[in-house]
Each structure stands twice: as structure tokens, then as C-alpha cells.
Structure 1
Amino acid sequence: GIRLGERLEKDMVAVKLSEDLQMAAVAAPAYLENRTIPRHPQELHQHRCINFQWPGGGNIYRWEFARGQRALEIAVNGGLTVNDTELMIRAALDGVGVAYMLDYQVRPWIEAGKLIRFLEAWSPRFPGFYLYHTSSRQVPPALRAFIDFLLARR
């Protein structure tokens, strides 16, 4: 399977597939033009935020922040809720409001200047994606090929 983090049962092996991850609060320059850029997560209540609902009708994601030993979980305000990260990116690029998602998902737009990142000091880091499988001395050839394929694409 593939999962975030490397905590596994004793009889499992984890293979790291990605860099460690960090959340990113972002908005388009046009959205931020006449607004104050938040310096603290609580200031997000003064902004239109784009909510994310887990696919299948799950709960709306509460934005998680951490700085040192202090952790916050915030239910943000916003008139738009999406269940697809591509839609969230598109909405942020279109100036709908603030998005909060994994940094690798928005990095190209940040680097191009189409999104501005903020609250980075409050954005938690966590282990990336890992492939996990049962431990055995002989990894089946198909699994070995799949692992090699994924590692080559990192």
C-alpha cells in the first residue's frame, strides 16, 4: 500500500517515495491586493477561504497549524467548498480566496508568482509518502519493478 508516514507494523517494510511534506497557505496576488496578508492563523477568519471536503461526503478539513509546541486547528470561513485539489488550485489562482494544501501541489504556481505563500512558519511538516509491503527476504519481481519505477520518478 501507499500511505503518509512510515509507522508500520513489525512485519512490514517502508520505502520512502517522496520528500517530507509541508502544508502551504496560498492566495493569488489579485486576491491579496487590498487585503492584509495573515501573520497568524487566527487572522484567516478575516479572509475568504476555500474549504476542502474529503471525497465521498466526508468531513470538511479543519486547517491544522503548528509552531514550536503550539498547535491550532481552525475551521475557516468561505463560500466555496471543493472535494478536488485541482479545483482548489484553480479557485485560488482565480482569486476566489485562500487555499491550504500540500506545498508540492502549489509549488509551480508559487515559483511562477501566480500564488503567494504565507504563514509558512505555522505550516506543519510531516513525513512524506511511503510504499509499504510485508517483509520477506525475497521481494516478488513485480513488486520490485513497481518500487524501482516509483523511485525513478521521485
Structure 2
Amino acid sequence: MLRDELGDLAAFLVVAEEMSFTRAAARLSTSQPALSQTVRRLEERLGVRLLIRNTRNMAVTEAGEQLLNTLRPAFSDIDNRLQSLSQFRDKPAGTVRITAGQHAADTLIWPAINEVLHTYPDIKIELSLDSALTDIVSERFDAGIRLGERVEQDMIAARIGPELRMAVVGTPDYFTRHPAPTSPHDLPQHACINIRLPSSGGIYAWEFTQGERELNVRVNGPFIVNNLSAALKAAQAGVGLAMVMEDMVETQLAEGQLVRVLAEWCAPFAGYHIYYPSRRLLSPAFQVLLQTLRRRNAAEEKPRRPVIDGNNQ
């Protein structure tokens, strides 16, 4: 294969990933007309149509999809092996791309990234904040950060955070106007802040566990958001009850700004894990981040604060 043919294949891969000549040209630091000519030249050389395009839309043909299925793992392997060459440098180098949700980024990922970037100046990290279940293989991420129960079985996963718990909270003023729920069955009578799930688009059903009993409760309320931070802000403003991560409200509970209820129904669950494809050759830069996350988790594990529950005050 000639060198320019390899370049044409790489250009087609980027265009197909971006589904836009304009975005692909910016990513490749070239012009849109030049990139369009490159793909046209590749189609003429192969004798097949790879892309169907007009002024508004673009789609990959069946032949193009077959070529993509060949190119993605091949170029991914080349990229991984090139990055692995940094082991012969004095210090690890390369780019690491990871995807995580906002809560994981705030509590676990950013502190580790900050440490790595200050220790290894030749490492670059791209963090994509997305609560949906991103396909890290097709999106060309090195790894994802998700709750342990949401990690796909064909991935290698390593725990990087402690067990988590949810907390149902409201303001003291809210509870002067409404009796505190003593059971999840009472929640339909309360104003609750709903969460719209980014993965399915549906509304999250509040999950409770007490011993062997499990309950999923559909709650109602005047406000719907798509992340926990917004739900917490609404609860602090007195809009209603919110179900958020326990560690997000430790300070507010201790200071009396919020009151917690139904704590005995909120059992611990598997915390955050970093996951990555089992077939992927781990670059030295990624290994540095992985080891940093695992080390920080081991060092920072500590006894949890006592539960403060408004029903027991």
C-alpha cells in the first residue's frame, strides 16, 4: 500500500466518524474541498461508493460501513502501539481520552487528572462529561468511568471509588409544611424533583432497598432536570424533595441546611469503576492515569460519616 493510500483511508475514517466534511477538515487541519477530493479519489480507486452526500445530509453506504469495520480496529491498534513507544522515553507521554459523568468527574477524576498533569508534563488528557452510556470503542475513548453495575461484561473494570449511597433530602422549611415520609410509599404525596435519564430519555424511578425488599417509586413534582447537581439546587431552594448522592449533601446535612429522610431505605451500592476494552494495548500514559486513580482510591478510603435522618431527630 502506498503512503498516500493509507492517508486517504485515514481521512475517510475521520469523515465517517464526524459525518461532516467541515468538522473532519477542522480535525485534520485541512480544507473541506481538499478532503472531499481525497474521499472522491479513494472511491474511484476502490470502484465503490463509500458515502452518500448532499448539501444537507451524509450517510455511509454498505460498502463504506464494511470498510469502516476494517479500519477502526486497525487504526486503533496502530495508534495504541505508537503510544506504547513512549515507554522508551524518559517520561510517559501521549494523549488519554476518557468519558465520565459530572459527579464522578468532580469527586474522583479531576483530583487524579490534576495530579497526573502536574507530574507528567508530556501527558495530555481529554475528559468528556457525559452521563449516557457512551460506546468507548466506536467513540475512540481509552476508557470510561461509570458505576460498577453499569459496566458492560466484555470490558475490563477496576474499582476506583468507594461504595455510594443515595439520600432523599429537603429543606427544614419544606418539612414544616409537609410531614416527613416514613416509607417510600409516602413519596407520591410529596413534591419531588424528577431526573430524566440521559441514556433512555425516561424518568428515573427512585430505587429503595431495605433488607430483601426492593421498591421502585415513580414520583411526581413540578420540576424535571437531567443531572443531580441541578436537582440538589432545586431542593435547596425549597422546590421539593431530591434524591441525590449522599456525599453531595454531607455538609448541608451537618449544618442543618437540609434534612434527610428514608435513610434506612437507601442501601450502599457499587461505586465508580474505570473500564476499557480487554483487547486494547494499554499506553504508558493511560497506565499512569489508571494507577493514579487506583492508588488514590486505596489511600482515601475512610469511615463514612454517621447517617443523619430527619425521621430519627
Match for residue 233 of structure 2 among 90, 107, 113: 90
Amino acid at match of 1:71: E
**Distance in 2 (alpha carbons) for counterparts of 1:116 and 1:36:** 12
Are the equivalent residues in 2 in contact too, given 1:4–1:128 (CA < 8 A)? yes
2:299 is aligned with 1:147: no
The match for 1:31 is 174
Within-5 A mapping of 1:30-109: 30-55=173-198, 58-109=201-252
Are the equivalent residues in 2 in contact too, given 1:64–1:124 (CA < 8 A)? no
RMSD: 2.4
Question: Whose helix proportion is higher, 1 or 2?
Answer: 2
Larger relative contact order (C-alpha < 8 A, sep ≥ 6)? 1
Q: CA deviation at 1:134?
A: 4.3
**Distance in 2 (alpha carbons) for counterparts of 1:130 and 1:36:** 38
Question: Whose strand proportion is higher, 1 or 2?
Answer: 1
SS in 2 for 1:25: strand
Q: CA deviation at 1:124?
A: 3.0
Q: Deviations over 1:82-112 (max 9, x none)?
A: 1122211111111111001221222232222
**Distance in 2 (alpha carbons) for counterparts of 1:56 and 1:126:** 20
The two structures have a TM-score, normalised by structure 2, of 0.44
SS in 2 for 1:146: helix
The match for 2:254 is 111
Q: Which segment drifts farther, 140-149 or 36-45?
A: 140-149
SS in 1 for 2:247: helix
Amino acid at match of 1:33: T
Over the matched positions of the two proteins, sequence identity in percent amounts to 37
Q: Residues 76 and 131 from structure 1, CA distance in 2 versus in 1: closer, same or farther, beyond 3 angstroms?
A: same
Larger Rg: 2
**Distance in 2 (alpha carbons) for counterparts of 1:9 and 1:20:** 20
Q: CA deviation at 1:40?
A: 0.3
SS in 1 for 2:157: strand
Q: Deviations over 1:37-93 (max 9, x none)?
A: 111001112211111112378101111111111111111121111112221111111
Q: CA deviation at 1:34?
A: 2.8
Q: Residues 90 and 9 from structure 1, CA distance in 2 versus in 1: closer, same or farther, beyond 3 angstroms?
A: closer
2:159 is aligned with 1:13: no
The match for 2:272 is 129
Amino acid at match of 1:59: G
Amino acid at match of 1:53: R
The gaps in structure 1 that reach 5 residues or longer are none
**Distance in 1 (alpha carbons) for counterparts of 2:278 and 2:228:** 34
The gaps in structure 2 that reach 5 residues or longer are 1-143, 301-313
**Distance in 2 (alpha carbons) for counterparts of 1:148 and 1:110:** 33
Q: CA deviation at 1:8?
A: 5.6
SS in 2 for 1:132: strand
**Distance in 1 (alpha carbons) for counterparts of 2:265 and 2:162:** 19
Q: Residues 144 and 82 from structure 1, CA distance in 2 versus in 1: closer, same or farther, beyond 3 angstroms?
A: same
